[in-house]
Amino acid sequence: MSNVVSIPVEKREQLGSSNSRRLRRTGNIPAILYGRGAESIALCISANNAGKLLGHTGIVELTSEFLGKRIAILKEIKHNSLNGKIIHLDLQVVKEDEVIIVPVPVVSYGEPVGLKQGGQLEQVLRELELECLPSDVPEMIKVDVSGLEMDHAFHIGDLQLAPGLKVIGEKELTIFHVRAPRTSEEAESVEDSEADADAPEAVAAPEATAKKKA
C-alpha cells in the first residue's frame, strides 16, 4: 500500500490526566485506538513517531508485541493551546477492504490566467471528504488552477479523481475562484460579519455554564 506511515506503539496501562501528563514529560504521547464493534485500547506513542502523523491522511500501520499489526487512520490530533505540542491522538481501526470517509486537504498549483487580468485567487474549500478504500487515501488533492480566468471558479464537479475516489459534496460547490481584489470596505465588512457570527457563542457560553452550576 502507498501513503502508509508505520509506527510502533505500546499499551498504556495507567490512565487518567495525571498519568498522561507524566507520560508526556518522558517524551511520549497518550493515544486511543477504537473501532466499530471493538473495545478501545489505550496506547503510548513516542513524540517523534507522533510527529510523523502531522498532516498525514492515509493509513497508519500500528505495530507492537501485544497488538501485532493493526491498520488504522488518524481521526484527531489534539494540541496544547499554548505551545502547539501534540498531547493526544485518536486512531480508528479500519479494514483494508472497507470503504471509509476521510477529510483530505486541497492544494492548488499553476498560475491562474485571471491574475494577469487583475484578479486574485481565493480558496473557498481547504479540504474535502473522500470516500474510498484505506489504501487509496491520497495525502492531498491537487488542483490545476492555471486555466481560471477572472470571475471563473473551479467546482467539486470539475475534479478529475483517480478511480476508486469519490468526493462527498455538491458538485456546484466552489473550491477555488478568481475575483477582483477586495476593497478595504469589503474586507472590513467580512471581518465584521465574522465577529458578529462569533458574538452569540461568546455570550451563550457563560449562560450555559451558569445553568450547569445551578
- Please state whether the predicted TM-score (pTM) of the whole model is above 0.85: no
DSSP string for residues in 110-132: S--GGGTTT-EEEES-SEEEEEE
CA distance 37 to 85: 31
Q: For the purposes of burial, counting CB atoms within 10 Å of the CB of 91, is it exposed (0-12), middle (13-18) or buried (19 or more)?
A: buried
Confidence band for 186, pLDDT divided at 50, 70 and 90: low
For 2-56, write each residue's pLDDT tens digit: 578 899 998 887 777 888 888 888 888 999 998 876 788 899 999 999 999 888 8
Task: Kindly list the domain boundaries of the chain, sorted by start residue.
Answer: 4-94, 101-183
**CATH domain 101-183 topology:** RNA Polymerase Alpha Subunit; Chain A, domain 2 (2.170.120)
**CATH domain 4-94 topology:** Ribosomal Protein L25; Chain P (2.40.240)
